[in-house]
Structure 1
Amino acid sequence: MHFLKSTFLLLLCLAGTGGAAQRVFRGRVVDGNDGQPLELATVMVSGSPLRVSSDATGHFEFAYAPELAQVTVSFVGYGPVQATLQAGSAALIRLLPQEVRLQELTLATSAVAPFRQLARVDLAVRPVVNTQELLRTAPGLFIAQHAGGGKAEQIFLRGFDCDHGTDVAVNVDGMPVNMVSHAHGQGYADAHFVIPETVSTLDFAAGPYNAAQGNFATAGSVDLSTYNRLPKSRMQLEAGRFGTARALLLADLMLARRSAGSAYVAGEYFYADGPTQASQDFRRLNLFVKYHAPLGLRDELTASASTFGSSWNASGQIPQRAVDAGLSRFGAIDPSEGGRTARQNLNLLWLHKAGGDRYSEHRVYYTRYHFNLYSNFTFFLNDPVHGDGINQREYRDLLGLHSRFTRKRAWGGGALRSTWGGGLRYDAVPETRLIHQQQRTLLEDLQRGAIREADLFAYSTQQWRSGRWLLEGGLRYDALFSRYGNALTDDVVRRQGGQLQPKLSVQYEWSNSLQLVAKGGKGFHSNDARVFGGFTGRQVLPAAWGADLGLQWK
């Protein structure tokens, strides 16, 4: 409670107005070829430890005592530019693309979102087969696949077993990947619907310290963003061992009319037999289209649509005693495991620039999702006749809204960035089932019902930077409402709960290579609506407190 009160007071202080008059420098960083804004370009002031980054619209702003400021502007994949800025006027800085060269990269402790900038290098030089492998670029994150290539991987993050996503929030273009009250596991995060070559940036945050992240962001969060404009069109064919084959197509649809916006289509087909004795027969098809265009001088529209389908067989786990008795380690006791899954997405983003220091983002998304998984974890332990095979299946509709308002201004001898956001996520699962099955023949329902679940949220973040100090306070509130109708007993379980989550982060740049960091905050992950039973209050949304104290040396 003391931490909560302290954070709330900090937010009130940071949100205040006043402070000494400052010379304010403003500018905008864009791609020199097409004029598209570059987010997170680094602006370094010569002779000063001051460093700032451009926002989603390419704008940057900082307070500085002299009337002129010599700056160096850089961005991964672009050549740096030196410029002289004058207080009170807005500068337009154009960067030209160039090849990424590792020996020319400089790591600065004061960089904003440093991992996202480093990830751009990884994406440029590291080959990947699927988007789940991109998660490995996050520090301290490991993945493991145990039931065929079509199932979401197990995620391990900073010592936490996050199962398939229970304690790590995964988002793609602002759209959540995690599924609440999923048939297989809470927070199930299957990102195979993303074509890896369309991903432009990957951002990672450790712990529950980001107010913009809500459900499941306890151990951390991963955000993937796709290109608004393709770097280039290409067609690619791949083949490998175990019957592996992959076809990729990336096509720029507006190459000759770049000033009017951008549009591209991407397609991927993947097939693999796998190394096991029973063919995995893994098939995955992805189609993705994205459109981005300015709407006048102050507005931008981004729209994307995708469809994904996958099917596979899995040999599953086998006991060591079976291998000792002669079963091949690539064999199977129940080769009928596997499944099918599909996902279709629509995603719309409207960006409005009220001025160089204010902008807003409004996103609406819709997902149609199918899941059908056959598993057998204990073979014949409980049913010696038919075996212990189970089938987990569901289909759902997911609708979400998210609005965010950002304002930047000089305050208290530094730069203050204020963000307010809020939104809604609604999941409708008309049917979710757990079925006893044998060799994919359904025997009887063990669990069957329908789920309705809504999450209303609001948050605020105040970030203040001055000299070597960076302070950030955040406050978030989530209210969850759920309903589970049990089709086997005709019972209906309704639950609701809320979580107030304070966040606080303090960073001090000791030198260009050493930074002191202290973070604390509260997060949560919701419980499955089917197992609420007698749960009330805090049990509906169990909280997770986190704290980080340490040094960052680069």
Structure 2
Amino acid sequence: MDGQPVNFVTHAHGQGYADLNPVIPELVESVDYWKGPFFGQLGDLSTAGGAKFNFFDTLPEGIATVGIGQHNYFRGLIADSIDLAAPASFDAKSPALPDVRSSLTYAFEYNYYDGPWNREGNSERLNGFLKYFRKSSRDSFSLTAMGYDADWDSTDQIPRRLIDSGGIGRYGNYDNSVRGDSSRYSLMGEWNRDESNGRTHADFYVGKYDLDLFSNFTYFLNDSTNGDQFEQQDERWFLGGEVNRMWEFSEGNSVTVGLQTRHDILDGIGLYNTTGTVRTSPVRVDDVYESSLGIYATADYRMNDWFRVQPSLRADGFYFDVDSNNPANSGDTTDGIISPKLNLIFGPWQDTEVYASAGTGFHSNDARGTSITIDPMTGLPTDSVDPLVRTYGFELGARTERFDDIVSTVSFFYLHSDSELLYVGDAGTSEAGPATERYGVEWALYWKPTDWLSFDNELTLSKGRLLDVGSDDEIPGAVPITMNTGITVGKSEGAFGSLRSRYFSPRPLIEDGSVDSRSSWQINGRVGYRKNDWELAVDVLNILGREDNDIEYFYTSRLPSEAPGGVDDIHLHPAEPRTFRIYLTKHF
């Protein structure tokens, strides 16, 4: 989000947890994407790629939106930019005054939703955003304060056998006390200067984050008396920033050098056994300090009119310090890694480029895993994990704009990780797993035949497997086929509409491949009408009314009537049924 990372390291609910709650969609001017470990400016947790949400410095117009829908859905938003200093006027009889612009952008958003679940979700979130922006001559500066506060009642995933037996319906739940609340407040600053031969950039961020989450995924498997409910608590300060300098040379050639740092200070990140959201005993409680420093250099050099080279080199150092409630699990460690990367671009010929990319990257592991010696659940000795995990990949592809109004890309990719982060459904967290490899083919097509019609389609065929584990080498949750398709019609005024489709094929839920998930095919649509500064729109979610599942895991759980040892079963959270929402928007 501008310069602030979305992902959290050493997170109570799983390493690399992505918190997108602060993002208000209407404030995003553009999104930059990078695919694969081929770009020097991207460090931790970016092996598959990265995305950057760029917020508006100044909104082009104010916006007020109210949305209502089924299951007590409500969304309200107001956002606008206040012009603090208009561009200076010019007088032919006197020297021109400096061109100075400044603005203050604000936004407030409120969301509420109960959902179709038998237990009302009572999901409530309040977002705030305030950004000061100033541009004068060669310099631009912004200071952004943003924050959200949210709480909800959970329904969690439920065992399929309980649905099949009629014990609960698809939208039922088991534990009526699980819930959560979360908040995040931050301050970001950014400065840019246009130099005669390039650009200088600096940014910083500092923030406070809290999460308190109660879950119960195995019911009475581990504790037949009090149940298996647990609490994950995360409370931290985080801060960091980046400084980089880009030099431009002749014919668009450039070199960029940058430095990035990040620090997370966690006070009492904890896992507790609970009953009815009341703590009964701590499993593990830690104070953690994790810091990193990364330096990188990238270049973009055109060798001739048909060949470009983009080499980059990155070096990262990490420090982990863990103070655990069990001294045997306390400790500190350091680790470092160097990551070379290279992109080769050939062409264009007939408006077509061919590219080849290769590079290494990494991801960090949870700091608590770097110092662990005793498993807090069993009390038995256990091995620590590597602080940093090497990854590498390559990609070969072609991009073309040979045909009018069409942009298309076809690519083959390969990605290897020395240890993949695997989400463990019954624990509600991610753990360091074995080495993996993934490979596949991707095809993307974007077609805009007229100014009022556009079409896009993205298809991925991929295979993933665990390495050095024998024949049971399926990666749980790895989706072999995904397809996203969209059609958009309409002009700036009059009728408009869109239809979007997202397909996930069945995927293995267990390493031996004996259990698969269901496929998921969700089609959502929007129709509306724009006139002057007003807009009315209706959204329809899950148009086909399919009984798909948003979550499916396979693990062991035990209901009170079942024998000790529990039952291996699919645990799922259903997708929402066909749902209608209506929005009224005023632009000003």
Q: What's 2:361 paired with?
A: 523
**Conserved 8 A contact 2:370-2:384:** no
Residue by residue over 1:294-335, the C-alpha shift from the partner in whole angstroms, topping out at 9 and shown as x without a partner, is: 2x4222211100111111111111111101111101000113
**Conserved 8 A contact 1:460-1:475:** yes
Q: Equivalences for 1:331-346 in 2 at 5 Å?
A: 331-346=172-187
More strand by share: 2
The question of 1:533 aligning with 2:371 is answered yes
The question of 1:305 aligning with 2:305 is answered no
Q: What's 2:211 paired with?
A: 371
The Cα shift of 1:396 comes to 0.5
More helix by share: 1
TM-score by length of 2: 0.62
The Cα shift of 1:534 comes to 6.9
Q: What's 1:277 paired with?
A: 118
Could you tell me which of 241, 247, 266 is aligned with 1:429? 266
Q: Percent identity?
A: 30
The question of 1:482 aligning with 2:320 is answered yes
Could you tell me which of 495, 501, 505 is aligned with 2:339? 501
Q: What's 1:246 paired with?
A: 75
Q: Secondary structure at the match of 1:315?
A: coil
One-letter amino acid of the structure 2 residue matched with residue 546 of structure 1: G
The Cα shift of 1:422 comes to 0.4
The question of 1:262 aligning with 2:109 is answered no
Could you tell me which of 455, 460, 470 is aligned with 2:308? 470
Q: Secondary structure at the match of 1:333?
A: coil
**Conserved 8 A contact 1:496-1:537:** no
Residue by residue over 1:160-205, the C-alpha shift from the partner in whole angstroms, topping out at 9 and shown as x without a partner, is: xxxxxxxxxxxx1021111111111001111111111000011111
Q: What's 2:396 paired with?
A: 549
Q: What's 1:226 paired with?
A: 55
- In 1: Cα distance, 2:282 partner to 2:114 partner: 32
4+ long deviations beyond 4 Å: 534-538
Q: Secondary structure at the match of 1:322?
A: helix
Q: Equivalences for 1:339-358 in 2 at 5 Å?
A: 339-355=180-196, 357-358=197-198
- In 2: Cα distance, 1:497 partner to 1:375 partner: 33
Gaps of 5+ in 1: 1-171
**Conserved 8 A contact 2:113-2:121:** yes
One-letter amino acid of the structure 1 residue matched with residue 55 of structure 2: T
Residue by residue over 1:355-389, the C-alpha shift from the partner in whole angstroms, topping out at 9 and shown as x without a partner, is: 2x221001111011001111111111111111111
**Conserved 8 A contact 2:75-2:109:** yes
- In 2: Cα distance, 1:253 partner to 1:373 partner: 38
- In 2: Cα distance, 1:286 partner to 1:499 partner: 37
- In 2: Cα distance, 1:353 partner to 1:459 partner: 21
Q: What's 2:158 paired with?
A: 318
- In 2: Cα distance, 1:358 partner to 1:234 partner: 35
Q: What's 2:494 paired with?
A: none
Q: Secondary structure at the match of 1:532?
A: helix
**Conserved 8 A contact 2:3-2:204:** no
- In 2: Cα distance, 1:223 partner to 1:284 partner: 23
- In 2: Cα distance, 1:227 partner to 1:262 partner: 11
The question of 1:361 aligning with 2:201 is answered yes
- In 2: Cα distance, 1:534 partner to 1:267 partner: 43
The question of 1:289 aligning with 2:136 is answered no
Residues 233/538 of structure 1: CA separation in 2 closer, same or farther (3 Å cut): same
Residue by residue over 1:382-404, the C-alpha shift from the partner in whole angstroms, topping out at 9 and shown as x without a partner, is: 11111111100011111102101
The Cα shift of 1:260 comes to 3.0
Residues 514/322 of structure 1: CA separation in 2 closer, same or farther (3 Å cut): same
Q: Equivalences for 1:186-225 in 2 at 5 Å?
A: 186-225=15-54
Q: Secondary structure at the match of 1:530?
A: helix
Q: What's 1:514 paired with?
A: 352
The question of 1:184 aligning with 2:13 is answered yes
Q: Equivalences for 1:430-449 in 2 at 5 Å?
A: 430-449=267-286
The Cα shift of 1:509 comes to 2.2
Q: What's 1:136 paired with?
A: none
**Conserved 8 A contact 1:217-1:525:** yes
The Cα shift of 1:478 comes to 0.4
- In 2: Cα distance, 1:552 partner to 1:319 partner: 45
**Conserved 8 A contact 1:292-1:302:** yes
Alignment RMSD, CA only? 1.8
Of residues 249-258 and 279-288 in structure 1, the stretch that sits farther from structure 2 once superposed is 249-258
The question of 1:381 aligning with 2:234 is answered no
The number of equivalent residue pairs is: 378
**Conserved 8 A contact 2:84-2:101:** no
**Conserved 8 A contact 1:475-1:501:** yes
**Conserved 8 A contact 2:125-2:150:** yes
Q: What's 2:293 paired with?
A: 456
**Conserved 8 A contact 1:247-1:269:** yes
Residue by residue over 1:9-45, the C-alpha shift from the partner in whole angstroms, topping out at 9 and shown as x without a partner, is: xxxxxxxxxxxxxxxxxxxxxxxxxxxxxxxxxxxxx
**Conserved 8 A contact 1:497-1:538:** no
Could you tell me which of 221, 228, 252 is aligned with 1:415? 252
Q: Secondary structure at the match of 1:197?
A: helix
- In 2: Cα distance, 1:376 partner to 1:408 partner: 56
Residues 537/461 of structure 1: CA separation in 2 closer, same or farther (3 Å cut): farther
- In 2: Cα distance, 1:385 partner to 1:209 partner: 52
